[in-house]
Structure 1
Amino acid sequence: MELRHLRYFVAVAEECHFGRAAVRLHVTQSTLSTQVKALEREVGGQVFVRTSRRVELTEAGKLLLVEARRTLAQAGRALDVARQSVRGETGAVRIGFSGIAVLEGTLSTDLRRFHTAHPRVELHVTELPPAAQAQGIRDGTLDIGYSPDNGLGDVDDLVVRRRARTKLSIAVRHDHELASAVSVAPADLEGENLIVYAADQDDESVLDRFEAGQAERRGHVHLVTGTLGVLALASAGVGVAVVPAAAERIGLPDIVYRPLRGMAAEVDVVTLSRPDEIGGPVRAFVSSSGRAAGA
């Protein structure tokens, strides 16, 4: 049985006349009659009683009319849902992010823009290290990534868009000697215990931006994957944290921020996505964030 058979059947049942139903459906009366007979063969009996003036439903036809209307309505809803998904109006977008993308404002700006235009799309956000974001996009567990450009590894198979450049600062406990400095250079961190974002569990990430040779002169390095964890250790006096300057918006107790100057003083925030994306909501999100970036 095809949906066409049900549509023809419902039209005849509602018009109580083959001729009027044929006009309504824009088909010939003979075509309509043939399709109804085909439906009756599948049912195994008549669904209409035909008289010279009108058409009436049999008991089987009355039961079929109720179910046919439900089936056609559900088919219409299914088609609408599919069309809405293709247009990016429904569905879900799974986003991985590093704290820097939130602090710098890129992620929240993109989320607000997209949600305003597509309020029925679900947005799932998870804080992840850069390398984990890239892998998640590759294996299909994520759709979009927001990350600093360092620590990503080889991402030639992904679309990488630069979204912002943000300055770096250090965060230290208020009684640390660097708390009184106007600004801090990488050389000033000689011998200090450093608290840095880890691109992955065993990757020192942002340390690559320090001056050559600095790594040999530093003290112990604490690798942390989350922004709040970095700041918590700094607040406890465990060491000096290297953070995006926008982290100053987080008002943790006992923390002071000082600008970091020199070759390591800036980092790019990028978005990651698949080059062959087919999901409507994800394509819509990428397009929306591209407009936000001026792409």
Structure 2
Amino acid sequence: MDLRHLKYFLAVAEERHFGRAAERLNIVQPALSMQIKALEAELGGPLLIRTSRRVELTEAGKLLQAEAARTLEQVEHTRLAVERSIRGETGRVRIGFAGNAVFSGRLMQDVRSFHQAFPDAEIICQELAPQLQNEAIQSGTLDVGYMPDYYPVHDSALAYEPVGEWGRVVVMSSDHNLAAKESLTIGMLAYEPLIMYSINDEDSQLDSQLSQLLGDKLNIAWRISSSLSVLAMAGAGLGIALVPAPLAKVAVPGVVYRVLDAPELSANLTMVSRQNEPSAAVLAYLNHTRKHGLFTG
């Protein structure tokens, strides 16, 4: 007994007429009759009572009608569920992000757009430092990462796609001696205790650039892992920090932001994923973001 037999039997049981059932199934009536007889022979008894005008169901036939309808319904449900999974409409996408992704609005824009297009896909967001995002994506505990591209050498197993770039601003306490300036130059940062982001790796591009520009006058006093910690320490007067311009949208008591006249020190945001991604949901997220996401600058 296969699904075709159940489909044929159910058509006859619902139409109560071989001719109409054959027409509905788009097959000839003799072929349909042979299939039903073969089914009855396989099950070992009659399922239908045939009259000159219509067909009636035996008790066994009534039972099979209910079971066949339930089975075919489940098969159709399974087919649709698998097809949706293949298209990425269901499944899970685990996203890591650094502060830039939130303050620039890029993360919310991408997640909102994807959720509207794929409402049944599960989305999990987690704030992680860039190096931890790289490791999590490689180990399979994270699928997509939004992070600054600190590293001159990229892992060949990962894909790196730029999704935003901004200038930098200097954040400091409101009573800092540089707070009276409307804009700052690199030279004004000489010997100032700098609060820098922790990168847990080789010197970042920003470190290298500042070292070239300030030389021995570069004073990195602190390494901090999160943007809120950077703002807190700057507001407390423990140093100043160079942060991506979108962070200036965050109003913190006692903290001021000043434009830095140094376009070469731009901050970027990169979307990182696996080169050979096996998950249909993750591929759907990446493709949707590439198609609908706007480069932020």
Shorter-normalised TM range: 0.7 to 0.9
Query: 1:290 aligns to what?
Result: 290
Query: 1:220 aligns to what?
Result: 221
Query: Residues 151-174 of structure 1: CA distance to partner in whole angstroms, max 9, x if unpaired?
Result: 485233222221221112222222
Query: 2:60 aligns to what?
Result: 60
2:222 corresponds to which letter in structure 1? V
Residues 58/170 of structure 1: CA separation in 2 closer, same or farther (3 Å cut): same
Q: Which moved more, 1:120-129 or 1:96-105?
A: 120-129
C-alpha RMSD over aligned residues: 2.9
Could you state the TM-score of these two structures normalised by the residue count of structure 1?
0.84
Q: How does 1:111-122 map to 2 (within 5 A)?
A: 111-122=111-122
CA distance in 2, matches of 1:281, 1:149: 25
- Note if contact 1:165-1:268 (Cα within 8 Å) is conserved in structure 2: yes
2:198 corresponds to which letter in structure 1? A
CA distance in 2, matches of 1:153, 1:98: 20
Query: 1:99 aligns to what?
Result: 99
1:78 corresponds to which letter in structure 2? T
Query: Residues 170-197 of structure 1: CA distance to partner in whole angstroms, max 9, x if unpaired?
Result: 2222222332333344554444443333
Residues 107/45 of structure 1: CA separation in 2 closer, same or farther (3 Å cut): same
CA distance in 2, matches of 1:42, 1:178: 91
Could you state the TM-score of these two structures normalised by the residue count of structure 2?
0.83
Query: Residues 11-39 of structure 1: CA distance to partner in whole angstroms, max 9, x if unpaired?
Result: 11111123322221122334433433454
Deviation at 1:126, TM superposition (A): 1.4
Residues 215/196 of structure 1: CA separation in 2 closer, same or farther (3 Å cut): farther
Residue identity over aligned pairs, in percent, reads: 42
Q: Which moved more, 1:55-64 or 1:113-122?
A: 113-122
Q: Which runs of 5+ in 2 are unaligned?
A: none
Residues 219/290 of structure 1: CA separation in 2 closer, same or farther (3 Å cut): closer
Q: How does 1:140-179 map to 2 (within 5 A)?
A: 140-151=140-151, 154-179=154-179
Residue 195 (str. 1) matches residue 208 (str. 2): no
CA distance in 1, matches of 2:258, 2:83: 52
- Note if contact 1:196-1:204 (Cα within 8 Å) is conserved in structure 2: no
Q: How does 1:2-81 map to 2 (within 5 A)?
A: 2-40=2-40, 43-81=43-81
- Note if contact 1:195-1:230 (Cα within 8 Å) is conserved in structure 2: yes
- Note if contact 1:194-1:239 (Cα within 8 Å) is conserved in structure 2: yes
CA distance in 1, matches of 2:218, 2:248: 27
CA distance in 2, matches of 1:137, 1:219: 30
Secondary structure, counterpart of 1:285 in structure 2: helix
- Note if contact 2:167-2:263 (Cα within 8 Å) is conserved in structure 1: no
CA distance in 2, matches of 1:152, 1:144: 20
2:238 corresponds to which letter in structure 1? V
Q: Which runs of 5+ in 1 are unaligned?
A: none
